[in-house]
Amino acid sequence: MSQESILANRVGGTVAVIIGLGAISEAVRLYPLSPSPLAGDHTMIGFTGLGLLVIGLFFILSSQTPRFKVDYPSGKLRYLILAVVGALFMYRYLIPVLGYLISTFITLFILLKIMGQFHWLHSLLGGAIFTFVVYLIFVLWLGYSFPAGIIGI
Amino acid sequence: MESLDFLLAGFAQAVTPVNLLMVALGALIGTLVGVLPGLGPTSAIAILLPLTGVLPPTQAIIMLAGIYYGAMYGGSTTSILLNIPGEVSSVPTCLDGYPLAQQGRGGPALGVAAIGSFVAGSLSVVGLVFFAPVLAEQALKFGPPEYLALMVMSLTMVVNLAGNSIIKALFMGLLGFLLSMVGLGPSTGVPRLDFGSSTLWGGLELISIIIGLFAITEVIKGIEEKRVAISPRQIGNVYPSSADLRQSSKAMLRGGVLGFFMGLLPGCSPAVTTFLAYDLEKKIAKNPERFGRGAIEGVAAPEAANNSTSSAGFIPLLTLGIPASPPLAILLGGLMIYGLTPGPILFQQNPDFVWTVIASMFIGNLMLLVLNLPLVGLWANVTRIPYGIMGPVILMLSVIGAYSVRNSLFDVSVAIVFGVLGYFFHKHHWPVVPLVLCFILGPLFEQSLIQSMAMSGGNPLILLERPISAAILILSLALLALSIKLKRRTKKRVIQEVGEAVDIAKCTG
């Protein structure tokens, strides 16, 4: 097995141990509130935490896991993926400020430009058409309610 | 006979114009997403589930069921015309479908696939009509310990959905359980795992997690793989000749029956049955050397098995609440969102709903056949839509879907975060379906556990003291062993055909 793969499993194992310990401590916090030792809000959390702890330790201590190599994208492709994820987060935080429709138009323009590499005019047009269709279907027809933002649309 | 009366009443409901429209829409959308490389039944149902929120439950589930079996059929189009199996279950269809397409007989191959899917799908729905009520009647005797045992049986599914590492699947399953427990505790009402934030008191929304893990992750994967539009070759006449039909009719029946009975076993996915059906045909063929070079039976049998297993999967889903495949796990979540907990009670309390959905499946299978044969050319052209348009549109619909369930931007954040996490899970081969399955089953499992422990005064042996729960546990063990054996066999066959290990549990998007 590649060293890289073993390291990834150990990182995963460490995360599992941390989550498991967190769950067990939450079970301990809830235990006094429960009506009986094995029947309460703490029961499942406790068992789940214990399971995660055991599996985490297994990953940290064992090298008997399937062998494979992980290749992450590099160069432009990496930036493209980061830009798309960044655009999604930007979209989420733009919605309450600019409202759903304007944010959708801006984000779709950016996504079409970077993912499709279309001419900016085509991307603008695509963003406008999609936003209009979304407005027709979801707002006018289906009656969905989206944040209006500070501009009020 | 009671079943037939209910079924007739279901048909009366299913043929109303609105319900027929939902069946047709579901079948068409399903086929469309099945055809599009990079989208499959799981992500299609995930994206569209919240968007069906404006529909009454029956119409919404009818449409989602249509999407499910439509996408199953749509997958065969890309397998045959482009040699791209959208899912592992479509690999056997490629083996003879693509050589047929290369010989200019892609049309008849698609026609046989459509007819095989229809025949097997209809056979399975007949089975569903007779098997489901019997199972549901038995399940009425269930109390909390029996339900707990049933939940344990559902967890045997984790093995089947495990991908290449059972231990990783267990980790993901436990993570799913833990995520399902975020929010107010069921017995005390005290907030759990909330990190002091009241935003988490309402818990995490299933749809956001599903959209993140399936739709957003799928787009990120698409960017990485630099997916492009593909132009299929000439497909020829789509209507198979009478010789083709004669040659493939028995294969369809064999594939359909095998797929149905295997599909009854919780934990037996279409990936397993399609390979079994293909191998069976090859074994009993007079000239097995034709297989792999364009034998029409090599398309008919796996396609029939695929569709009948998919339909048979509704039996454990509706009667016991056990999903046999990733899309059915999402559908289970959909049923729960509509307040319809699958299980014996569903047949008792909502017979109109259950039987209308079952009747709509008959109609849906017929519609798939009627609509898809003439539209094969159109579906082939759909593969030409550039990914630079598809990807952004999927992302925008994902955000709408995540937001619309609770009108919450927090849910949108959850979807994006799980989209990114899903990408890392995919890179490191951590299977996400066990996480989703356990997230869905978590609350039921916890409720059954707490009630069983309360009944027995904290004695876990209550599970073995009651005959039904003990029998279910023994059956779970047997199914676990069978699942592991079938999984190993399928893995071996996939390696033989594809040349590398592929995640058997994977169902594209």
Helices H, strands E: what count in chain A? Answer: 5, 0
Judge: A111–B392 Cβ closer than 8 Å, yes or no.
yes
Nearest by CB to residue A66, choosing from B392, B395, B429, is: B429
Distance from C-alpha of B109 to C-alpha of B113, rounded to nearest angstrom: 6
Q: How far is CA B312 from CA B178, B307, B469, in A?
A: 30, 9, 24
Domain ranges of chain A: 3-61, 75-141
Size of chain A, expressed as the number of residues it contains = 153
Least confident of B99-103, B256-260, B478-482, B491-495: B491-495
3-state secondary structure of B87: strand
CA distance B391 to chain A (A): 8
Plot region of A143 (φ>0 → left; ψ -120 to 50 → alpha; else → beta):
left
Distance from C-alpha of B501 to C-alpha of B39, rounded to nearest angstrom: 21
pLDDT digits (tens, 9 = 90+) for A97-151: 999 899 999 999 999 999 988 899 999 999 999 999 988 888 887 777 888 888 7
Report yes or no: B54 at the A interface, CB cutoff 8 Å: yes
The secondary structure of B137-148 as a DSSP string is HHHTT--HHHHH
Of B269, B309, B316, nearest in space to B132 by CA: B316
Tell me the ipTM for this assembly. 0.91
Distance from C-alpha of B509 to C-alpha of B495, rounded to nearest angstrom: 22
Which residues 422-441 on chain B approach chain A with CB closer than 8 angstroms?
427-430
CA distance A116 to chain B (A): 4
CA distance A152 to chain B (A): 17
Report yes or no: B124 and B448 within 8 Å, Cβ to Cβ: no
Judge: B407–A117 Cβ closer than 8 Å, yes or no.
no
Exposure of A75 in the CB half-sphere (CA atoms within 13 A) = 1
Judge: B429–A77 Cβ closer than 8 Å, yes or no.
no
pLDDT digits (tens, 9 = 90+) for B157-213: 666 666 667 788 889 999 999 999 999 888 888 899 888 888 888 889 888 898 898
Distance from C-alpha of B101 to C-alpha of B294, rounded to nearest angstrom: 8
Task: Enumerate the residues of chain A whose CB falls inside 8 A of the CB of residue B387.
Answer: 115-116
Token code pair at residue B12: 């009366």
Q: State the Cα torsion A37-A39-A42-A47 to the nearest 10°.
A: 90
pLDDT band at B413 (very low <50, low <70, confident <90, very high): very high
Task: Enumerate the residues of chain B whose CB falls inside 8 A of the CB of residue A134.
Answer: 396, 400
Size of chain B, expressed as the number of residues it contains = 509
Q: How far is CA B314 from CA B175, B183, B291, in A?
A: 26, 31, 31
In the predicted model, what is the mean pLDDT of chain B? 81
Report yes or no: B228 and A117 within 8 Å, Cβ to Cβ: no
DSSP-H helix ranges across B293-337: 297-312, 314-320, 326-337
pLDDT digits (tens, 9 = 90+) for B128-159: 777 777 777 776 777 888 888 888 877 776 66
Judge: B396–A81 Cβ closer than 8 Å, yes or no.
no
Q: What is the DSSP code (8-state) at residue B240? A: P
Distance from C-alpha of B68 to C-alpha of B64, rounded to nearest angstrom: 6
Which residues have C-beta within 8 Å of that of residue A121, sequence separation ≥ 6?
none
